[in-house]
Structure 1
């Protein structure tokens, strides 16, 4: 034994004899721990890798979220295009409202809508849905508009030689096959395309767009004939409030507008919440990826336990010597706890540094997904949260194996290789482990805002650990009771599953959680892709035609019906309105369920009908009789009514064109939203809305080969009508979801990678015993081929058993996500299950052979002499 060990034994003995106080004992433990650490990181590489990856994932995801939050707050003026915005649907603000805006600050009026664009010269049938933005001379109030040609926006949009200018997203040029200088038809007007848009400062506040952006002046929009009564146009009035434009100033403007115009029906947005839809999206994605990262960290916790066990296995003789020389169990525990915490601090620090750098790297990727501002900086809170998770995970998974080494007597430690003993730590160490786990749960509830989802997650994680632990021990008992096969390799493999010190339980735990998450996300991915690419297009109409004026409806439907291949033509009146009261309570004071909250955000599509709409089933109440002309009645989608706490006989108020209409709920409907047919949350009795200015919405189906011909014919005949091709809209949504799924798949791959590292650590934990077994077997004549065969069978059985659990758990979890969270159909995918089983088996066998290769190469003579 080395001089360092002799010194350590002497000092530990003195401590055990009581010649040093508690502080002196701790100082001695620290010196011994430091001397042992100087020998290197043997056994702790996987420990460090698990901590670094897990902490970096959590710190990175939450740092990116903080950077986005800070960017949205810092750039709120630019994103919104003003300090405060008043938005109206269908109608412009009146003179009194305009006067109020101009008194409150500098005003910019913007109109947004969808329209159709086509090239003027050499018409080749190309048509494109475009997102029109009509601006005034004061746009933008904040930020800078950048064009490819370097000129100013208003010069590019000005009228020259009797023709209005237009600037467009480069995507429109590609779709129409045109270049700057080309003439483009939009509505009743021919525009000259003057330049391409490089930067649109307020793009993020517009959310998801289904077509490329084009910009024109407000005067050009009026001349194009796109502004008609009931047309689906958003009128936005943005103000630059005089300094100091603080929160109080914005509140005064907002509250003053509400008091002066209580029935205006506008949506008011301040720069402090410039892009609420984007904020909700970021928050939900952050929560999901944080939970995935936390799962990875928990999987890494198993690796920490394995690494500590493996490390202590290598120090077994030192520990036994310490105890023989009089060291107390507490001293032994302190020595190795100090080492574990020192290395954990190193790993956590490295993970925090990597996490802090993630916003810089992620900025480019997120800008490709959405034009979101990232405020690059150091965000202490997410880094501290990730570090705290790392520390608590380390304590939760390291205390138990450390306490086991403390509790075993010296003679048992010498025999632990061939006859491991169960040693239950004292109540204090069990309480410490429980406290660390409770701290993890408490930190999760504090860090993640969705308490309900966090509770389900923690319960699922705890349940998975218990089930996997039971599965591992069940495999060991099953192997112990299995009949002895004739084949020597198979017999050896089965025996290895339940031999003393077998890593069976550790291997099952190591891969189980990672594979379960892999199966869950793979099945969710498969089902979402199926819904978007196969099921929906077959059920959905080919086109939605919007903004059909009442005087055009008959002619439009007649022409559409006469088009070759057009069928299943449906038409309904359409308005837009905003829910203002629920049972007399202002909408802002209502607390809806998460599933129904969207119905209170912004304007909703409204319609009226004398009969129950198609793709709807009446589930409560009665429909109004034909020709009903009494008080306003409404039929609501059942799930939305339930989420708002509404029942038959309750009332809901909506603001339509500045007029508030209160209707009694007469019936509830189950709506098949997935059909993409015409459906509305609220369907009113005809007398409630038919006198209001409105347009008509028409849908039709046509064979794919006829879509281009039909689109050209209808948009040429009715240039003010907007045609939305469902296939293109679905492709836009699918492209966005594919980008999101890339982030999810990346997080999932990281979890699986940590699982593989943990698996390697679990196998390394029993490596000494494996080498000993291999040496003895070789001594008695076993060949390398027989040993390899035994290892392949053993690891293959472990991989298949783990895969079976992962498929079952992942299937149940994906069903819950698709059915309850997304509200969509679910189909089991056999290829995903089979590929998971093969993947698990291949990973386990490969990692097992790679880890135990040293056992296959071990020479019996030198090893037996040293033992």
Structure 2
């Protein structure tokens, strides 16, 4: 009976199954992506690192650290740093990451070069391997040469890949590999240079890496060095992509939730249409249980079918994600289809269908055989049953969101926010119905009054449609506003208008010469910032060495080993704002030195205004107190500092400089870079034009993902919208044909329907958009900590588009009435 009835009602059930398919497809695609990421990270953990474990230090290892490194007998070593290089063939210059390697690194994975032999011969031939994109950009071939600092070396081969690199990191600073023993001759490692020493180890299969890490890590930590194993690196990388998975899962869950609304609304109307059939079945002797099971089996079967189709689409969809994410991943993502997401998809289809159809299904239990003669379309379940059904649905939503987020509090907040949105939409719909009834415009013409009456008379769809339209608009608009907030996080235009070249690592004795060259080139010197390196010696009277050994410490570990680059000046920049304490521009003689620290550093060090910090400035201890705390806009591409000293303290300390200028065009920028690198090989130059282009490309990819999820959710919302409006088709046909029988013209019937759906479309879209503005404001203030100015596009585009869509679907419902005689329609 369930099969026969479903076969006869397949057109009405089509939108019901579509609501399931899209939600399931999103969940399955993203679950498969998460599974593939985890399995790839696990399988390729050694290839990602190129070794079993690595010891690294940000500066040349101390004597004690070197003794530990040597005792473990490294199989290869490397020093890497960022520097400018030049190509004598055409005079081109570029900021690159120089990696000086000694030994047969990598032990796992491949050092992919062209020609292939270059990977093993470049050290013996004292040559360089240059990034493939860089070779194409400057039209360089193997056999040409590259100038690295004071030396010029032949290019042995093209570097296609090396373990650990991502497309984005090589876009910022392409990799150039040279032999380790050539590094000293470059004379690039000078005072203040940022560099990293790495020692690579290939371990025996019997070695317990976790035990080694526990034993060695504390000793290295004390010597400002670290040990990373391929297992700990894969765990860290896995956690990083877990956050990505959580974001995508959340978006998929929203699409799933829209599908649930579609199920609830379509089944509610579908069951109402079946009340006479159920009454007839009961007249023929069918029990409550039998009539209930007929439709339960029907809905369950459709849920399983929707789950199967959605899972199939999800398998196809997840093939897109590796293409989108390939630039962000340090490995090639190999796709495999696991059974778990497919099983989850089918079970979700079944559970969604039953849970969200349960309330209207239970109404079949209370249908009386007498309904054959006197149909009560408002047959309801008992209050207690309804409460229990809502509790079960909320529990399902909580458990599902907890499974996605792995955090009970976040799951509770998310479910609570979802429920609150629905409550607000429902209250608005109910309130609108009461307002229309109370202030009904009796003087309006007949068609306008009829259109308004449809909002609150029996068989009205006001609450259901406002929920569906409002929630769809809310989701789409929130995603659109969120994209605007994310794009505003990187505000590079203001910076590029003033400075577009930043010159780093200018030594003290080079400062005047570099400044003179810029002035002679008729370019402005926008800033000339001194940098002084230092470490924290003690915090609030406790030695950093003691804090480092304290396993119960609350201070973040990075602070204890970090070498801070600080500056001194008597003014604040536009990207800084004092939020606590008082800024002291010039230090007074005697007493503690008042410094200003950034908010994030104050939180991580657990210090506030008035606390003391002693710094080790290249061997000299300097006692300071926190005079003020600053809010720093780290999103702007300019030189910002965690620690700021007043003038009159650090002028005589060993220091180097960062100078910024502005070139009028790309050719001027290239000339400055080429000439400066020729005169001062140790300096590094960042062209903000190139960085801006890179940032735009990255943000375009992020925006694409956000837009894709918004489009996917929007498609689900449209399906739900079509389903919700179409399921009212048969009530509207009945009413419209009766009006036509009474003498109403086609134009009058069209106007009545158009006005009803116009009111519903406007109400749902406007309320959804207003709620989206509120939620986006909350995200901007509490999550992104950015100012929020709503874009006009959702108001101009979404409201009319959604309203017109609702009207078009609504008017298509009564097409039969307009093209057929009343008697013909009534017989149907």
**2:36 maps to 1:88:** no
Correspondence for 1:559 = 517
Q: 1:33 to 1:482 in 2, by over 3 A?
A: same
Instruction: Name the counterpart of 2:380.
Output: 423
Q: Which residue of 1 aligns with 2:709?
A: 747
Cα deviation, 1:311-353, whole Å, max 9, x if unaligned, reads 3234222201123345444443333223222321232243344
Q: Specify which of 322, 330, 333 is matched with residue 292 of structure 2.
A: 333
- Residues 1:824 and 2:790 aligned together: no
Residue 498 (str. 1) matches residue 470 (str. 2): no
Q: C-alpha offsets along residues 147-203 of structure 1, whole Å, 9 cap, x if unaligned?
A: 2333331324553xxxx5322223213432434433333322333333322222321
Equivalent of 1:809, from 749, 752, 771? 771
The match for 1:253 is: 212
Q: Helix, strand or coil: the match of 2:712?
A: helix
Q: How far apart, CA to CA, are the structure 2 residues paired with 1:551 and 1:136?
A: 33
> Which residues of 2 match residues 145-160 of structure 1 at below 5 A?
145-156=111-122, 158-159=124-125
Aligned residue for 1:502, secondary structure, equals: coil
Could you say which residue in structure 1 is the equivalent of 2:128? 166
Query: 1:380 Cα shift?
Result: 5.5
1:128-143 maps to which residues of 2 (within 5 A)? 128-143=94-109
Deviation digits for residues 572-596 of structure 1, max 9, x if unmatched?
Answer: 215486999897654996798xxx9
Q: Which moved more, 1:175-184 or 1:46-55?
A: 175-184
Q: How do 1:750-761 and structure 2 match up within 5 A?
A: 750-761=712-723
Question: What is the CA–CA distance in structure 2 between the aligned matches of 1:688 and 1:141, rounded to whole Å?
Answer: 49
Q: Give yes or no for the alignment of 1:620 onto 2:589.
A: no
Q: Is the 2:425–2:466 Cα contact (8 Å) retained in structure 1?
A: yes
CA distance in 1, matches of 2:618, 2:245: 37
> What secondary structure does 2:172 align onto?
coil
Residues of 2 paired with 1:478 and 1:208: CA distance? 62
Pairing 1:270-349 to 2, within 5 Å after superposition: 270-274=229-233, 278-349=237-308
Seen in structure 2, the aligned counterparts of structure 1 residues 619 and 231 have a Cα distance that, compared at 3 Å, is same
CA 1:686–1:218: 2 relative to 1, 3 Å: farther
Determine whether 1:568 maps to 2:526. yes
Deviations for 1:542-599, whole angstroms, at most 9, x for unmatched residues? 222222223323332343344423132131215486999897654996798xxx9897
2:465 to 499, 507, 523: 507
Distance 1:708 1:413, change over 3 A: farther
Name the SS for the 1:193 alignment partner.
Answer: strand
Partner of 2:819: 857
Distance in 2 (alpha carbons) for counterparts of 1:745 and 1:604: 40
Q: Residue 294 of structure 1: CA displacement? A: 0.9
Q: Take 1:260 and 1:531, find their aligned partners in 2: how far apart are those partners? A: 40
2:599 to 625, 638, 649: 638
For residues 599-626 of structure 1, give each alpha carbon's deviation from its aligned partner in whole angstroms, at most 9, with x where no partner exists: 7699574314365653434443456763
2:630 corresponds in structure 1 to 669
Superposed, which structure 2 residues align to 1:197-216 within 5 Å? 197-204=159-166, 210-216=172-178
- Aligned match of 1:524: 482
Structure 1 residues 660, 805: CA separation in 2 closer, same or farther (over 3 Å shift)? farther
Report the Cα distance in structure 2 between the residues aligned to 1:653 and 1:347, rounded to whole angstroms: 65
Q: CA 1:359/1:292 → structure 2, altered by over 3 Å: closer, same or farther?
A: closer
Asked if 2 retains the 8 angstrom alpha-carbon contact of 1:395 and 1:433, the reply is no
Q: 1:568 to 1:691 in 2, by over 3 A?
A: closer
After superposition, the Cα gap between the structure-2 partners of 1:603 and 1:652, relative to the gap in structure 1 and judged at 3 Å, is same
- Cα displacement (A) at 1:391: 4.6
1:810 deviation in Å? 1.8
1:63 and 2:22 equivalent? no
Q: After alignment, is 764-773 or 306-315 more displaced?
A: 306-315
Q: Deviations over 1:361-381 (max 9, x none)?
A: 433332244344435445555
Q: Residue 685 of structure 2 aligns with which residue?
A: 723
CA distance in 2, matches of 1:578, 1:457: 41
Please give the secondary structure, in 1, of the residue aligned with 2:281.
helix
More divergent stretch after superposition (93-102 vs 433-442):
93-102
Instruction: Output the CA distance in 2 between the equivalents of 1:379 and 1:683.
Output: 53
Moved more, 456-465 or 106-115: 106-115
The answer to whether the 8 A contact 1:58-1:355 is kept is: yes
SS in structure 1 at match of 2:455:
helix
Distance in 2 (alpha carbons) for counterparts of 1:156 and 1:833? 61
How far off its partner does 1:53 sit?
1.6
Q: Choose from 326, 341, 351 the match for 1:367.
A: 326
Can you list the C-alpha shifts for 1:752-795, whole angstroms capped at 9, x where unaligned? 11111111111122111111122223333444444334433332
Conserved 8 A contact 1:575-1:695: no
Q: Is the 8 A contact 2:394 2:415 kept in 1?
A: no
Paired residues for 1:689-704 under 5 Å: 695-704=656-665
Cα distance change, pair 780–621 in 1 and its aligned pair in 2 (3 A)? closer
Taking a change above 3 Å as real, the CA distance of residues 288 and 654 of structure 1, as seen in their structure-2 partners, is farther
**CA deviation profile, 1:641-663 (whole Å, cap 9, x unmatched):** 23654323556798999999997
Report the 3-state secondary structure (helix = DSSP H, G, I; strand = E; otherwise coil) of the residue aligned with 1:274: helix
Tell me the secondary structure at the aligned position of residue 508 of structure 2: coil
Say whether 1:442 aligns with 2:399: yes
C-alpha contact 1:205 1:275 (8 A) present in aligned 2: no
Residue in structure 2 matched with residue 458 of structure 1 by the alignment: 415
- Conserved 8 A contact 1:393-1:436: no
The answer as to whether partners of 2:28 and 2:314 remain within 8 angstroms in 1 is yes
1:788 aligns with 2:733: no
1:26 aligned partner? none
What TM-score does the superposition give when structure 1 sets the normalisation length? 0.85
